[in-house]
């Protein structure tokens, strides 16, 4: 994909997604449909509801992505987490479909020290089996945790082996987060190609610099050029991914979008 064709945007507040995109000079936006730390999905906080948001996004020529709540962990072996997670994921997928989203970003989740990782992979398979949606589920690599499903390449490989047997597994894609990859110990010089070799696709990039050192396991996003990821590695992995980009940095992200456009152009 040619650099100038890459859509670059940012995570914005749903209530003013269109205005924020204009201010930032964004081609794409990512939003939460509900409180990311809560299990409830209230009515959409957008004037006119889902239909109006869908129409506004289309009229503005934007690509819209939804980020699922952080509380979701469909890999969990704990029924009190896994069952509500699956229910909440279905609600978010339905909401994403209603607003015309291109995909829903979901964290890979984790099991505990007492669990076999294979249980977590199989729980993912069952979750995808049960899900009813036309919107792609875009599993995101995570920064930390020894029992996470999508931090290291071998786990992503095991996860994908399970997902390919799920009914609807072909509608599961991947979100590559640059800060998470760096913190998670992946080599950014080869990460995009290695992930694509496993998953067959990278659907979205979360472009973030990292406050902490490589392999730290710390999920601390920071603005481009202010963190510890060398510029050539950061730009290189984003270019190699060849997918739309969402910045999730700090504060005013307009300079980050401009910074990236200039280097990918």
Helix or strand (DSSP H, E) at 107: strand 103-107
CATH of the domain at 244: 3.20.20.150
Average pLDDT per consecutive 10 residues, the chain (265 residues; last block may be shorter): 74 97 97 97 96 98 98 98 98 98 98 96 98 98 94 97 96 97 97 98 98 90 96 98 97 96 92
| Torsion angles phi and psi, residue 194, rounded to 5 | -70, -40
Would you state the structure tokens that stand for residue 128, as one six-digit string?
């995808």
What tens digit of pLDDT does each residue of 139-161 get?
A: 999 999 999 999 999 999 999 99
Question: What is the model's pLDDT at position 215?
Answer: 85
Q: How far apart are CA 109 and CA 72, in angstroms?
A: 7
Strands, DSSP E only, in the chain? Answer: 8-11, 28-31, 63-67, 103-107, 137-140, 172-177, 204-207, 209-210, 221-222, 245-247
**Number of domain units in the chain:** 1
**Residue 248 belongs to domain spanning:** 3-264
pTM of the model: 0.96
């Amino acid at each position: 994909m040619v650099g100038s064709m890459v859509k670059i945007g940012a995570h914005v507040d749903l209530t003013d997604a269109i205005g924020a995109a204009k201010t930032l000079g964004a081609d794409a936006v990512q939003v939460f449909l509900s409180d990311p730390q809560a299990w409830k999905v209230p009515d959409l906080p957008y004037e006119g509801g889902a239909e109006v948001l869908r129409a506004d996004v289309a009229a503005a020529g934007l690509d819209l992505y939804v980020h699922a709540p952080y509380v979701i962990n469909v890999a969990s072996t704990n029924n009190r987490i896994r069952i509500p997670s699956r229910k909440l994921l279905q609600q978010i997928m339905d909401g994403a479909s209603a607003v015309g989203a291109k995909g829903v970003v979901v964290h890979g989740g984790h099991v505990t020290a007492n669990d076999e990782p294979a249980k977590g992979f199989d729980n993912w398979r069952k979750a995808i089996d049960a899900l009813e949606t036309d919107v792609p589920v875009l599993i995101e690599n995570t920064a930390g945790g020894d029992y996470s499903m999508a931090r290291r390449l071998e786990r992503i490989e095991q996860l994908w082996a399970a997902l390919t047997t799920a009914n609807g597994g072909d509608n599961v894609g991947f979100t590559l987060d640059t800060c998470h990859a760096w913190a998670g110990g992946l080599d950014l010089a080869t990460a995009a190609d290695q992930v694509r070799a496993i998953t067959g696709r990278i659907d979205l990039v979360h472009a973030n610099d990292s406050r902490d050192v490589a392999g730290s396991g710390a999920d601390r996003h920071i603005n481009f050029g202010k963190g510890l990821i060398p510029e050539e590695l950061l730009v290189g992995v984003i270019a190699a991914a060849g997918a739309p980009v969402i910045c999730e940095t700090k504060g005013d992200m307009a300079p980050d979008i401009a910074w990236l456009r200039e280097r990918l152009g």
